Amino acid sequence: MNILKKSLLILAGAATLAVAGTASAQDYAMCTYKGLSTLTSGSLTATCWTTLTTKIDCAGNVRIVAVGAIPDDTNPDLNCYGIGTGDLPWTTTAAGIIAGSSINTDGSGFGLPSVISMASGSPLAAGVLNGVGPAPSTVAVACDTSSPTSTVTVPTLVPVDGAFSSGATFVSDPGLALKGCSL
């Protein structure tokens, strides 16, 4: 009987921990940006729809966790299919983008190229992307599930007219627009 009581107490404790773990607050918002952009590296120039998926915590730290490029429907550039990203997550801060700053594309510290040619594996761009922002407008979005909910200020448009430290350029005109955020 004692063993049964101990087993029930252990199960009750485990269930309590499991419920507490699922009820803990998520401390970031996932925000997606999209816009037409042009990447130039050496003799390669590609104009593509670029999508950035970001993870923004309540302190305003931004990790770009996914980057994708596809051809523009009206003027398809098949080079877009040959561009891949590596060395994610790219990092910055929401305040840095809002004020005008840069994005570190070597977030993992491994020194891998951040943008590569899928065909050859050759690096197209790497290092810090300068010439980001300033954002013309911002919006407050929920960044956790606490009560009351905390918010973080994010840019509604991320203008990029800059160059990587490797010399490759990235231009988005007018910028990458916020498509939405969720917890």
Would you say residue 4 has pLDDT above 60? no
- Residue 46 backbone phi and psi in degrees, to 5: -135, 130
Mean pLDDT, residues 39-68: 94
For residues 69 and 32, what is the distance between their CA atoms, to the nearest angstrom? 13
Mean pLDDT, residues 46-62: 95
Exposed/middle/buried for residue 103 (C-beta within 10 Å: 0-12, 13-18, 19+): buried
Q: Give all strands of the β-sheet with 83-85 in edge-to-edge order.
A: 83-85, 115-117, 123-125
Would you say residue 71 has pLDDT above 70? yes
For residues 50 and 87, what is the distance between their CA atoms, to the nearest angstrom? 17
Would you say residue 176 has pLDDT above 60? yes
Would you say residue 20 has pLDDT above 50? no
Token pair of 62 as six digits? 């931004």
SS3 19: helix
pTM for the whole structure:
0.82
Token pair of 41 as six digits? 């590296």
**Predicted pLDDT of residue 26:** 67
**Predicted pLDDT of residue 43:** 87
